[in-house]
Amino acid sequence: MPKKTHRIARRTEALSRERIVAAAIDILDAGGEGALTVRALAGRLATGSGAIYWHVADKNELLAAAADEVIARVITAVAGSKEPQEAIRAIALGVFDAIDAHPWVGSQLFREPWRPATLEIIESVSGQLHALGGPRAAQFNSVTALLHYILGVAGQNAANARLVAPGTDRSAFLGSVAARWTALDPAKYPFVRQMAAQLRDHDDREQFLAGVDLILAGIAAVR
Amino acid sequence: MPKKTHRIARRTEALSRERIVAAAIDILDAGGEGALTVRALAGRLATGSGAIYWHVADKNELLAAAADEVIARVITAVAGSKEPQEAIRAIALGVFDAIDAHPWVGSQLFREPWRPATLEIIESVSGQLHALGGPRAAQFNSVTALLHYILGVAGQNAANARLVAPGTDRSAFLGSVAARWTALDPAKYPFVRQMAAQLRDHDDREQFLAGVDLILAGIAAVR
DNA sequence: ACCTGAACACCGTTCAAGT
DNA sequence: ACCTGAACACCGTTCAAGT
């Protein structure tokens, strides 16, 4: 039986960084950040916990690599030749949708600004802003403003996803937050109370794009 | 000795939610999020770990209460009668500075959008936007855009604070990130590379305000 | 070179028992 | 009513031992 080891290697494929990251993404998507434990990962890969550490430095690096992977897919997907403003909207929306689908990416984006995930976003946005023209200092301001806005929405979405019970739908969640807002002391929170209805009825994607457009309008105004 | 229990009660003051939250803020400020463990907190308060849970539901609630406290102080501090635009800048800068001083607040702000911390910010900003006038739908867009931008910067600052070794200063950190950016592949990241110098030399507060102004310009433009 | 899995040093939280 | 602290059920990470 000279092919025996060969067969075994085929059945339980050799561990690799790629397989580990892919399994991590699956676990994160299925159960959120809390579900990704080294033991769960090792179990799904049918190996020992220690084996993970041969391919990956620690859990932090694993989380970062998983987020990099998801964002890289987005950026390549939206790459295309459009008008700068439209391209920026597409990039922003791509990131938004990716975080909507994988909320754990939202919390990851904040760590280590030199990671590919953030870098890809900065690079593609600033490429478009460059095409738009204007002085270099203004461009730096514009990229960081857009990036921070996107990150802010990303983080908020990730946090919301952590809060809503897996079964409940988005509008039920918004409805309950709106109800809380309505129940606030009118003397202390008059404006928040007034906004409750809009909170309840708004569409997240539209709202996100409205913010992008607001910033783009600002960029156009100061240019 | 009828006053004995009295004396003891005076020396080791009775536990209370306020004392616990105050001690938590101290620990968080001194050692960051990682330093706040229930055991550390109990130790500092000279009590058992279980005692904490008599006054506070769990660690999450404790973190949230600590953040609420810090933000509430900011909002009351910047309250004053100024021009709306200037007031918004003051509120934003107040939040920015608070998170600069207490980075752990940055990560907390994302959780639970009905918590006082976020509510205070929304209320005060939207009060000023109301004074600025314009249609109600546009005002909702404006508040959320500003809030998400502020949250984005907050989260990024908190993440950076977690990364820099407690001793290193800000400019050394920026220098090292800028060096990484410069070392990137020019074919893959031409624009990021170009921005490295600006990243190195920028001032965080100015940069933050430039973003606020960009959004305010956008708000003025679409009104 | 790569993998195993027990062991280590932690966590947050609970709860019988005390005062 | 409030506090104690041991105990429980977890973590991430390490490392001697195997192949």
SS (H, E, C) B7-49: HHHHHCCCCCHHHHHHHHHHHHHHHCHHHCCHHHHHHHCCCCH
Angle ∠(A11,A14,A15) on CA atoms, nearest 5? 130
Is the pLDDT at B134 greater than 90? The verdict is no
- Residues in reach of strand C, judged by a CB distance below 7 angstroms, are A 14-15, 46-51, 53-55; B 36-40, 49-50, 53, 58-60
User: Which pLDDT value is given to residue A12?
Assistant: 62
Q: Using the beta-carbon criterion (under 8 Å), do B151 and A152 form an inter-chain contact?
A: yes
With CA atoms as reference, the chain B residue closest to A203 would be: B141
The nt closest to B41 (CA vs C1′) is C12
Q: What is the DSSP letter of A110?
A: T
pLDDT above 90 coverage of chain A, percent: 78
Lowest mean pLDDT among A20-24, A40-44, B107-111: B107-111
Q: Which fold has domain A81-222?
A: Tetracycline Repressor; domain 2 (1.10.357)
Q: How many CB atoms lie within 10 A of CB B45?
A: 18
Element holding A94 (H helix, E strand): helix A84-101
- B104-114 pLDDT, tens digit per residue, is 999 999 988 88
Model confidence at A7, pLDDT cuts 50, 70, 90, reads very low
CA distance linking residue B68 with residue B153, whole number of Å: 18
Integer-rounded Cα radius of gyration of chain B: 22
Model confidence at A101, pLDDT cuts 50, 70, 90, reads very high
With CA atoms as reference, the chain A residue closest to B148 would be: A152
The full length of chain A comes to 223
CA distance A208 to chain B (A): 8
Is the pLDDT at B3 greater than 50? The verdict is no
Is the pLDDT at B10 greater than 60? The verdict is no
User: Which pLDDT value is given to residue B4?
Assistant: 33
| Chain A residues close to B147, C-beta within 8 Å | 152
Identify the CATH homologous superfamily for domain B1-56: Homeodomain-like (1.10.10.60)
- B52-94 pLDDT, tens digit per residue, is 999 999 999 999 999 999 999 999 998 876 899 999 999 999 9
**Domains B1-56 and B81-222 are alike in CATH topology:** no
User: Which pLDDT value is given to residue B152?
Assistant: 97
B168 vs B186: which has the higher pLDDT: B186
Q: Using the beta-carbon criterion (under 8 Å), do A114 and B207 form an inter-chain contact?
A: no
Model confidence at A92, pLDDT cuts 50, 70, 90, reads very high
User: Which pLDDT value is given to residue A4?
Assistant: 33
User: Which pLDDT value is given to residue A11?
Assistant: 41
Q: What single letter denotes the amino acid at residue A196? A: A
User: Which pLDDT value is given to residue A27?
Assistant: 98
User: Which pLDDT value is given to residue A137?
Assistant: 85
CA distance B55 to chain A (A): 23
User: Which pLDDT value is given to residue A19?
Assistant: 97
Q: Domain segments of chain B: what residues?
A: 1-56, 81-222
Nucleotides of C under 7 A from a protein CB: 2-7, 10-16
CA distance B83 to chain A (A): 18
Please state the pTM of the whole predicted model: 0.92
